[in-house]
Amino acid sequence: MAGLELLSDQGYRLDGRKASELRKVQARMSVFAQADGSAYLEQGNTKALAVVYGPHEVRGSRSKSLHDRAVINCQYSMATFSTAERKRRHTETLYPRSQIDIYVKILQADGGNYSACVNAATLALVDAGIPMRDYVCACTAGFVEDTPLADLCHAEESGGGTSLALALLPRSGNIALLQMDARLHQDHLDTLIEAAMTACKGLSEVLDGVVRQHLEEVSVLTRD
């Protein structure tokens, strides 16, 4: 997208944000009554919906079940393009021989689809009551003219510049997922990861606030 300045001289981006500013994040938990856990997350214009079922008995082939841990089945689909990608990860040494299903759907994509999914899935898992070591927060970061940008929107992502998607466990600083495309000089890698990590930490505080608020609402309703 030539001609569009991703970062103006005054340091403002296309949508008026500063370099390290995140988009507005809004989230709601327990949006579906049927599922064990569900969450709806809006990160700017990107809207993601996540639903969690489980832990339950392993469906399909018995051979998929592990004797000492749960199998997590994730299905990610975009509403507009209807591409479904299935990924299976084996984690959580609790719940042996069971399966946890996570379904994530993107309702509106405006950059940072993957990170919105991860964040929505985290909230849905918390809503389902599955014990987790830490929140998993994800955020994208980009690089334009020696300045790292946090939380890219679609125009910035497809501009052909660098984009890094990072999923972080904020408390321990462990990176759960690191995915980067497009060319970036090795020396800039450090600054880029740093920027993404700070953005994730900020995001984790927002998610934490959402969870606490939801708990308050639920406890108020069930008190009487």
Partner 1 sequence: MRDTPLSNCERRFLLKAIEEKKRLDGRETYDYRNIKISFGTDYGCCIVELGKTRVLCQVSCELVPPKDSRPTEGIMFFNLELSPMASPAFEPNRQSELSVTLNRQLERCLRNSKCIDTESLCVISGEKVWQIRVDVHVLNHDGNLMDAASIAAISALSHFRRPDVTIQGRDVTVFSPEERDPIPLSIYHMPICVSFAFFLEGSYLLVDPCEREERVKDGLLMIAMNKHREICSIQSSGGIMLLKDQVLRCSKIASVKVSEITELINKALENDRKIRKEGGKFGFAESMPKQRITTLKRDKAPVEMTDVEETASDIVNTTETTTEPVPSPVLVGMGTAQVGEGIVNSWGLDEEEEEDDEPQTEDTKTDEVMVISDSEEEEVVILNEVQKSKKTSKQK
Tokens representing 2 are 């030539």
Residue 90 makes contact with partner 1 by CB under 8 A = yes
How far apart CA 135 and CA 125 sit, in angstroms, is 10
Question: CA separation (Å) from 184 to 5, 112, 144?
Answer: 19, 19, 10
Residue 186 makes contact with partner 1 by CB under 8 A = yes
Size of the site for partner 1 (CB under 8 A): 29
Q: Using CB under 8 A, pick the residue from 178, 209, 212, 213 that binds partner 1.
A: 178
On whether the CB atoms of residues 193 and 109 are closer than 8 A, the answer is: no
Q: Using CB under 8 A, pick the residue from 126, 149, 193, 200 that binds partner 1.
A: 193
Q: Using CB under 8 A, pick the residue from 11, 96, 173, 209 that binds partner 1.
A: 173
Nearer to partner 1, 15 or 68 (CB): 68
Residue 102 makes contact with partner 1 by CB under 8 A = no
Interface stretch with partner 1, choices 43-51, 123-131, 172-180, 209-217 (CB under 8 A): 172-180
Give the residue from 102, 135, 119 showing the smallest Cα distance to 36.
102
Cβ of residue 185: shortest distance to partner 1, in angstroms?
Answer: 5
Q: Using CB under 8 A, pick the residue from 164, 200, 203, 207 that binds partner 1.
A: 164
On whether the CB atoms of residues 204 and 135 are closer than 8 A, the answer is: yes
How far apart CA 216 and CA 30 sit, in angstroms, is 13
How far apart CA 189 and CA 195 sit, in angstroms, is 10
Residue 64 makes contact with partner 1 by CB under 8 A = no
